[in-house]
Each structure stands twice: as C-alpha cells, then as structure tokens.
Structure 1
C-alpha cells in the first residue's frame, strides 16, 4: 500500500469514528462540502534549509505548478529530528532508524497554520449519515460534476472534503420575563429529517455554487415549503454561524458569488416578501438580531 492509499484508509477510520460518536449524540447527520484551492506541492528542485533557531526549517513550495514560495516553520517538536525527506506530496521527519513521522503536505500546512494567501472554493454541499461510503468514491454525482468543472479551468487545483456537524438550538423570546434557549436535540422541537434538509438547503442557497445551479433552479419551491413547515412549528427564522474549530486559511471558504471568509454569519426568514436571506458581518451583529426581543 502506497502513502496515498495508506492515508486514505486513515481518513476513512477517522470519519467512521465520527459517525459512531454522532450515534451516541442523538444520531446527527453530517453536512459535507467538496472544495478546491490552488494546487500546492513541495518544490523538489530546491533544498530544505535548517534555521539557526531550534526547530526552524525553511520549505520551498510550488503553487499552481508555477509560482514558487518559501515558508519558514518553527516548532519545538522537530528539535531532535535527524533527517527530513520530501516528495511532492509528503514530508517525513526521521528521528532515528526506526522512528519517523510522515505528513501529507496539506495536513502539514493545515496543522501548522501556514498562510499562503489562498482561498477555498465551495463546489458542492450535501448531507449524509455515512460520509465514508457517500463521499469517498468517484461515483458521487457532485464529485464528478466538480471534476468536470475543474478540468476546464486554466488553474490547477487540489480537491478537499470538509465534513461538518451543526449544533441546532431553539430560541424563544421572553414570555412573562422567561426566555428559552435549548438545543433542538433536547427539545426535539424539529424532526431531525426536516432539520438536516433545511440546513442543507440554507447552505446551498447561501453559497450558490455554479455546480449546483441546476439543483437550485428546481428545488427552490421545496426549500420554501420546508420553511412553511417550520412556521407551523412556530419557527420564523433560522440563523447560521458557520465557524470552524481551527482558524486556518483552508477554512477560508467562498464561491465566485460569495467572498471567501473563515467564518460566515447569515439568516433565512420567510415573510410577506417571500424567503429572504440576510448576511451579517460579524458574530455579534447576528447575536444582536437574534436576541433583540430579549432586551425590549
């Protein structure tokens, strides 16, 4: 088994572990994004340099097959390494003959938050209970559509799979000075199937990926009907905070229709003007809107 296949199996194990963990937490479904960003590889034509400071190394990268970039990384973990071995996609630190650690290039850059000024484009958004069997095969229509789209770009890009779990909360404005704030999994206020469908559609219509335009054209009425079902449950608006645990540029997500950001704040509301979306610049702006009736 080569390094790529070995790490593919490793990531499958991680996703399967997350699936099992979610079953113990109210059987959450997963939202997943297929994304891409400019291709990055290690530059094998230039030598790695060791800095004067302990653990400091200088690495050479090639972006989009042409742009060369040097980055320095300083970490105490590497102070005892004896040798560094690289190929285009992997970097290995050898500590002695039998002890080594190998990183795929993107995991390495992600973990050590190496900023290259790159953005990730969201191509496809979907939902699944089983992210391994659903997303990690090339039979997926969204994956095939993305490959076709990328094939016709001049820029070479790497493809990524982002698997997310959303925490859904229900907020009720004060009645007789009492407000309610609780997770939906506790109240079971919204059926789980309806919950995940609405989250998926809210994200699809927020990012508006060109690959999913056909689906959006045919599914808008279904999206509106989901919101009408929500209104029957007394829910008039949905507010989203799309925030990643790690603030790296790999989470700098956008589309040609939406500026890339590391965090996204927005809402959907069905009113007399139809189903409307509103963007918020910061988390506090969204909070002010959500809790405005709590402080009347």
Structure 2
C-alpha cells in the first residue's frame, strides 16, 4: 500500500510500527516522505498514493474519491502556528497593527495555519495585511531575521526554536482559536481512497499509535533519522505536542473543530462554500 506523510517527528512516530511491519495483518507500506504542501496538491487528483497526510484546510479541494479518516492526524490544543516578527512593542504587548499593509510569509495558502492567520487578521489587523508571500517554512524565520519580510507564519518545531533567531511572537494563533471557539485546532488529516477497506486502515493506524505509546523508545532511531536537524529534546517535544488523544480518534470535538474551521473560512471567502458543504462531515460520509 502506498502512503505519503511528512518526515516530521509526529508522523514518523505515529506510523513507525506500521512501516516496520509490527502491526499484525497490515499490508507492507511503500512510503513517500513529503511536506504537506506537496500532499495537499496530490490529493486534488488520483495520481497520488492511496493513503496520505494532508492539511484539514485542503479538504475542500481534495478529490471526492478520498475519504477523511478519524485517526492518525494532528489536532490538539496548545499546538497552533505562531506569527513572528523581528521586533515588537518595548513593553512586550502584542500589537497586531504592526502587520497593517505589511508583507507576511506563510508556508502554504492551503493550510490550517494560513486559514487561522487570515481569520485572526480579519478580526485584529486594522486595514488588513498587505502582501502574502508563500515560502518554504524552513526559510521563513531566517527571512524575518534578515528583515526581508515583515512577519512570518511558522509551524511545527519552529514553536520551540524561534528564540534562537531573536524573533518575537506577535500572536499564538492556537491560543486565539481556542479562546474564540473553545475547540481544538485541526492541523493535519489522514485521507484514504474510498475503494479501500477504510475501517481496516483506521484500525491499523490506531494499532500503530498504540504501539508507539506503549513502546516510546522503539521508534527513536527511525524518528531521528528523518529529523536530523532537530535535537532529541526538540523531537520529543514535537511528538508530545502533536500526538495525543485526537490522533487516535477525532471524536465529536475533533469533527466540530474541522467544521468550525472550514465553515468560518467559507464565510470569509477563503474556501469555496459549496465545496465545504459537499464534504458532509456531519453525515459521516467522509469518515469510518
């Protein structure tokens, strides 16, 4: 079975047991390691792998022959993207007006991080931001540090490493989302071809998650081999933050969070309203 997920610690931790052949009855995996911006594009057609990790924000553009699985992804609390600048108010108080008419770099325009940023900016940045520049996420913090862009939207391990660049956090978008909605943040989703046995795939993913939690040291070499730029401490912090109960089962709060994100984005014109409606998340047609 062909699968694509990122080389980030949370994904390699979740899928290690399955990729290593440790899940009874699960088929052998042919793994492609790809950033989520690549898999978001692949999900629009049927040329990509049978199972893949994409952004929840990309669901409205995902081919209808892919179904959302209720496990294996990244959704939680206290794990949202950050808006970073090279400066701030001297009293340390966040000042969203610093972004009025400014250039902001984002890792993708079809990501939860981008939708959260646009929803937050619509409420908090007077006059709105200026130019949105799509940039590989590992280039964003150095560009902000050098003054090439005014602010950057960062994800993943940048939550832990941005002080090394001398940057300031203007806004934790996860905190804003949780305070505004009371819901967790839907980041990365797992989708699979509807022609497959979706219940079986969900079961194998959950078994892989359970194995990872029961044997946390078993995946260490595999995780670090794909995260060589990270220290073991940062990799562990990454896993602890992004692999949680929602990874094993989205549950009612998880699906409500996805509906809230895409519903608000549609209301702001950031995603097509008709595509969000066609997902029929509440009917369960996109889940097993």
Q: TM-score w.r.t. structure 1 length?
A: 0.24
For the pair shown, which has the larger CA radius of gyration, 1 or 2?
Answer: 1
With CA pairs under 8 Å and 6+ residues apart, which has the higher RCO, 1 or 2? 2
Structure with the larger helix share: 2
Q: TM-score w.r.t. structure 2 length?
A: 0.24
Structure with the larger strand share: 1
